[in-house]
Structure 1
Amino acid sequence: MCACLASSMDARGAGLKGNAAGLFHLEKNNGRDCLMDPAGKPFLSLGVNHVQNIFPHSFSGDREKECDAVFKNLTSWGFNTAGYGSPAPLTRMMPYLAPMYLTKNANYMPDSEFYYPDIFDPAVQEEIRNVIGYEVGKQLGNPNLIGYYWTDTPQWDLERARKKRGTDWVSTLREMPADAPGKMRYEQFLKEGGTLDEDFLRLIARELYKVLGEETRRRHPDALIFGERYLINDHPNCVVEEALPYIDVLSIQPGGAEFNGDFFDRLHARFKKPILLCDHQCSFPTPEYSKTMWQQMENEEAAGQAYARYLRDAFDKSYIIGYQRCQYIDRFAEHRDVLKQGMLREDGTPYMTLVRHISEANTEAINRFMKHLK
């Protein structure tokens, strides 16, 4: 096992010591953006999201035993991070990222649950602060915490939102009653000479990130903030620019089977932040399920090869600090009539061809990473 994996995985959360704050942090090494573990060792994050609901009928419901089995699988396959959506026992065994769900404007939400909050309303702001306090409180004292995420796939882009929802954040506040804080702020915006919806969207983002950023920092100073998990192409420049003062890393959920190097080069050149690929995969049809989430490849072999190419191309970029794969075990999403495919079938048996490619690709990624360091 290479040093950067062993430094955090073998410890299983016990007695890690590091910088003055004892936390994961960022440094530059030989021109590369690097996560550093609490012991001060470079750490290339390779993780898996959505480990919750692992084996509902296994281990007699013993979550510790379930998570121990997951830990052994992940580490044997070359993963060193539990992504977001991991049970608490697993976060005590290996490094992880902690999510917060602070607004109800995730791209995947049905219209019945989706809404844009009036972020200018002090009561809404206080509610968000309380959620942050609760979520941070659950993580304090765990040395395996890499950092915090905010809302998942928030729907920001005005045009995309209008096509999907028939409205957007600016329109929602504009159409509120006259005494609503958001409506009053919009009227003030007009009096100040504002005319463009994108300019008011910037003010919404500024207000939101001020609340999120200041409260997260207050509750857990020095912890890394990975910000919102933006869906690729749904993060207007004006929105990201307002997040920059408060985030340490830009988190992007890409699509497709090929790493779009030109796109990410432009993103990094503009925003100057390390980038985490926070949720991604390629899938393949099975005899039971012809429809699968993410870009579907021809078969299991093709999906495994695509994973290897994606990691190789992504980590050629000095600003990419990690990759999180979507899904540990197969789960059928009934509301979408599609399989959310993992590395294990629903019965807990692995897709051996896929797992072989993933294991080899993860090992290669770590080895290349270590060779680049001073």
Structure 2
Amino acid sequence: MGRFYTVRKQDGHWNFSDDTGKPFYSLGVNCFSYGPDVPLQANPERQYGGDGNWYGNWAERKLDEVWSIGFNTLGAWHSPYFMNKSIPKTIEIRCSRQAKKVNKGWGGFPDVFDPSFAASIHAEMVDVYYQKGMNVAEDRSLVGVFLDNELRWFGTGGQWGFTDPGPGKNDTNLAEDYILLPGDAAGKRAWVDYLRERYSTIEKLNETWQAEYGGFDELAYRTEYRTAEDVYEQDKLGFVRLIAETYFRTTTSILRMYDRNHLILGCRELGSSVPDFVLEAMKDYVDVISVNFYSMTLPYSWLERVHETTGKPIMVTEFCFGVAGEAGFRTVTNGAQRAEVPNQRRRGECYRDFVTEATAKPYIVGMHWFAMYDFYDSNGLTGNYGLYDGQDRLWEEFAEAVRITHRGALLGKTGETAFRTWRTGAATGTEGGGRHE
């Protein structure tokens, strides 16, 4: 019947261990789906048959093509069609989706002290584990689950990190967002309770802060404080640690009510923007650290510190390189702007360099490409993100470079000399794919 995926370290090198016990290096594709979020220009019934099963035909053909260039995992946001297929896959649960937020915009961070946070986690768990029509908790082809995606740990005043911020990076922007909450908000009350526990009496706080407050309750209705700045900064750092501990303790304890079998793959951090205190809190709750980077190279000095701090292996769960004009895009949005190249040949070279260098690191256990298809102003995304274009054609020159790269990566990481087939999981010598005219 097989076993569940694990991670293990052997001779100084980390790898996943698959459902047969063999080493597994996860090479994934995000958004493996053909649906309304990818408004393609192709005619699927003409391409895949008008017998009412065009989607199944599409799925099998695409799995054949994508696996033939060395990918072996369905990344986040794949089609529900694949959930009952015995194919290596990952799931993003989005624990914070329905919770009250302390900051706005992409990656809005939840108020982890508000009851809506736990309620949101349960709602998302019910959706994943009870409303998909399959027993996800017992799926041995599921590598693991992500708790969230690109949370704004760095707060309203911070930025997405692309480079090494240096050791001891512990900004307190997230604490500032909590402090700006209304006085009756759960997160603001948690801040005041934290200060009460830290200082015991208002007299001690006043002495340390060089302030003259009448009681702790007053602090709930202030968004700025009279305080000694160096002490205040340490207080905020401690609160960020409490936020992180609460986030990971709450998410993982609830997850384990529904699923005691699968790896917890972190929450797909926004590059190097996550504070060190968060990493220190995370290590006791997750099995793998997941990070998303849209850059020409990875900040390895930072990644090595992450590994040393947490003692956990790392996955790069989003990266891409994209072409603008030659691929038919005047506008490129979001992460692809930082990884723009002139043509598909150069795109393939960048993929080779990026993946080859990452695979050589003993603590990296997977690389997930974003995405399956190019985006045409879908969910705010535009650009040559895909393995395929809007006519459902493989970017052939790029794909050939991917295939060659994967052959070397898997040989070096797991000793595999041939790509696996999605149909059986066994190695196959089949190589090739669709064609981009």
TM over 0.5: yes
Q: Write the mapping of 1:338-353 to structure 2, written as runs, cut at 5 A.
A: 338-353=382-397
1:31 maps to which residue? Answer: 12
Q: CA deviation at 1:143?
A: 2.0
Question: Which residue of the partner structure matches residue 320 of structure 1?
Answer: 364
Q: Which among 65, 71, 86 is matched to residue 73 of structure 1?
A: 65
Mapped to 2, the partners of 1:302 and 1:160 lie a distance apart of: 35
Measured at CA, do residues 211 and 282 of structure 1 come closer, stay the same or move farther in structure 2, by a change above 3 Å? same
Structure 1 residue 159, shift from structure 2 partner: 6.5
Match of 2:149 in 1: 152
Query: RMSD value over aligned CA atoms?
Result: 2.8
Query: Normalising to structure 2: TM-score of the pair?
Result: 0.73
| Aligned positions of 1:5-84 closer than 5 A | 17-18=1-2, 22-53=3-34, 57-58=43-44, 59=48, 62-84=54-76
Following superposition, the deviation at residue 323 of structure 1 comes to 0.5
Q: CA deviation at 1:305?
A: 0.8
2:293 to 254, 265, 268: 254
Q: Which amino acid aligns with 2:361?
A: K
Q: Which has the larger radius of gyration?
A: 2
Contact 2:5–2:143, Cα closer than 8 Å, also in 1: yes
Counterpart amino acid of residue 145 in structure 1 = L
Report SS of the residue matched to 1:356. Answer: helix
How far residue 314 of structure 1 moved from its aligned partner, in angstroms, is: 0.6
Whether contact under 8 Å (2:107, 2:149) holds in the other structure is: no
Residues 201-250 of structure 1, C-alpha deviations (whole Å, 9 max, x = no match): 22111111111011112211131000110011221111122222110000
Say if 1:161 and 1:135 are closer, same or farther in 2 by CA, change over 3 A: farther
- The 2-side partners of 1:272 and 1:213 are apart by 18
* Paired letter, 1:323: M
1:361 to 2:405 alignment: yes
**Is the CA contact (8 Å cut-off) linking 1:261 and 1:313 kept in structure 2?**
no
Alpha-carbon distance, 1:335 to partner: 6.5
Q: Which has the higher contact order (CA 8 A, sep 6+)?
A: 2
Q: Structure 1: how far apart are the matches of 2:381 and 2:24?
A: 38
Q: Deviations over 1:161-180 (max 9, x none)?
A: 489xxx95433432334333
| Alpha-carbon distance between aligned partners in 2 of 1:221 and 1:179, rounded to the nearest angstrom | 36
How far, CA to CA, are the matches of 1:264 and 1:37 in structure 2?
Answer: 24
Structure 2 counterpart of 1:190: 195
**In the alignment, which of 69, 77, 80 is matched to residue 85 of structure 1?**
77
SS at match of 2:247: helix
Give the whole-Å Cα distance in 1 for the aligned partners of 2:13 and 2:27: 17
CA shift, 1:334, in A, is: 5.7
Flag the 1:112–1:244 CA change in 2: closer, same or farther, 3 A: closer
The answer for unaligned runs of 5 or more in structure 1 is: 1-16
Whether the aligned pair in 2 keeps the contact of 1:23 and 1:143 (CA below 8 Å) is yes
Preserved contact between residue 283 and residue 341 of structure 1 (Cα < 8 Å):
yes
Asked if the contact 2:109–2:151 (Cα under 8 Å) also holds between the matched residues in 1, the reply is no
1:23–1:38 contact (8 Å) kept in structure 2: yes
Say which of 81, 89, 94 aligns to 1:96: 89
Alpha-carbon contact 1:308-1:358 (below 8 Å) kept: yes
